[in-house]
Copies of this chain bind each other. A is one copy, B any other.
Amino acid sequence: MASKNSTATKRADALRSIEAIVQAAAECLGRNPEASLSEIARAAGVGRVTLYGHFASRAEVVDAAMSRALDRGNEVLDAVDMTGDPRLALARYIEAGWHLVDQARALLAAAQRELSAGRILELHAGPAARVEALVARGRAEGVFRTDLPVAWMVNVLHAVMHSAAEEIRAGRLPSERAAGHITATVLAAFTPPGTPVPETGDGAHP
């Protein structure tokens, strides 16, 4: 039977390996959504057997890498000022959130292949809750439309952000134009019928 010490050592080793694998997965899949588990194990400095000891499938590795990216993303979004004019707050959220989507787009492509749409949505619960609260406040203050459901509006923002990521990946949109395009599009989409669409100067600021 293993001594208390060696159990603790083994556990510490396992935690270190898992951390190394998740970090390597985020990096490898972030460069290439088709990166193999062998590549990820190599980048993590562990053997394939160790990787398979901790993760039952490629989907589990992708899930862990995606969770990690979203945890980091939530930390960045914590720093965004969501107070004041909801349109300005939305522009700030898009500016910060967009960079996260842009950085994570290869990882997201891997997630879309390996994970269910429901699981991807679940992982995005943090960002979704922020946008939901902002949309609800903008509706209460009369600057966002109330004739469409809040969930639909949150979904429109994410759809437009992710389609921008695909446009960039396809070489049809320069990365530095994306936040402006997304903001100009979504602020217009959220404007109550009968009210003028805000002038954003290509969406940088309403």
Chain A residues proximal to chain B, CB less than 8 Å: 112-113, 117-118, 121, 145, 147-149, 151-152, 155-156, 158-160, 162-163, 166-167, 169-170, 172-173, 181, 184-186, 188-200, 202
CB-CB under 8 A from A194, the residues of chain B are 196-197, 199
Of the residues B147, B170, B172, B197, contact of A202 by C-beta under 8 Å: B147
CB-CB under 8 A from A173, the residues of chain B are 152
- CB pair B113–A170 under 8 Å, yes or no, is no
CB-CB under 8 A from A167, the residues of chain B are 151-152, 155
CB-CB under 8 A from A151, the residues of chain B are 167, 172
User: How close is A10's CB to chain B, nearest CB, in angstroms?
Assistant: 39
CA distance A155 to B194 in the complex (A): 25
User: How close is A98's CB to chain B, nearest CB, in angstroms?
Assistant: 14
- CB pair B195–A197 under 8 Å, yes or no, is yes
CA distance A200 to B202 in the complex (A): 25
CB-CB under 8 A from A199, the residues of chain B are 193-194
Of the residues B117, B191, B202, contact of A188 by C-beta under 8 Å: B191
Most B Cβ at <10 Å: residue of A148, A155, A185, A194: A185
CB-CB under 8 A from A162, the residues of chain B are 159
- CB pair B121–A170 under 8 Å, yes or no, is yes
CB-CB under 8 A from A181, the residues of chain B are 148-149, 152
- CB pair B156–A185 under 8 Å, yes or no, is yes
- CB pair A163–B159 under 8 Å, yes or no, is yes
